[in-house]
Amino acid sequence: MSPEELARIVPLKTGSDRLAARVEELERQVAELSERMPEDRATIVMFGGDLDRVLAGFIIATGAAAAGLETSIFFTFWGLSALKKTEARAAGQKNIKERLFAMMTPSGSTGLGVSRMNFMGIGASMMRSMMKDKGVASLEELMDVARELGVRFIACTMTMDIMAVAKEELVDGLEFGGVATYMADAARSKVTLFI
């Protein structure tokens, strides 16, 4: 087949056609890459349920939100205890193992112990007292500040199922989601932390 015959079947692109096609391909690649670029976000996994760990998480979350980062905290396993209502006990809906487990885990942020030197709650009481003496915001105050700054609180639904925690047992204003919810946030975040 001669070049003339081939050109009639498959039109040859001119230099400007090739350039336009290349620009179009580069624009497509840039758009694809920009979808994967991290945004001004911070995502925190709150796994630990100790007072000092939860405090650290909220200090970081409020700092990130104050710095302009869209911030979310994903509460899973022991961290979920920080979101429990102190007065909530859905004992009638739980089997014996679930009721015993609920009795062994903290009921709300005020029931969290410290990770070291807790001594049956004395360590947590001392830490809270020293924070108050120094004018440092309590965990509950930090939680309120985080909400005011727009920090999203996400309760892990799988953890709720495993630990038999009903939505009614948790504080109001939460979002609920699983690992896909966390991964969607984390994949777009500049900062991700596991506490």
Convert the pLDDT of each residue in 142-158 to its tens digit. Answer: 999 999 999 999 999 99
Residue by residue, DSSP assigns 91-127 as GGGS-HHHHHHHHHS--SGGG---SSS-TTTHHHHHH
Convert the pLDDT of each residue in 111-140 to its tens digit. Answer: 999 999 888 889 999 999 999 999 999 999
What is the token pair recorded at 119? Answer: 């001594």
* The CATH fold of domain 38-194: Hypothetical Protein Ychn; Chain: A, (3.40.1260)
Convert the pLDDT of each residue in 52-77 to its tens digit. Answer: 999 999 999 999 999 999 999 999 99
State how far the alpha carbon of 137 is from the alpha carbons of 11, 84, 98, 111, 189, in Å: 72, 20, 33, 17, 27
pLDDT of the residue at 78: 96
- What's the pTM? 0.79
Sheet hosting strand 39-46, strand order edge to edge: 175-177, 152-156, 70-75, 39-46, 189-194
What is the chain's Cα-based Rg?
A: 26
pLDDT beyond 70 at 107: yes
pLDDT of the residue at 24: 87
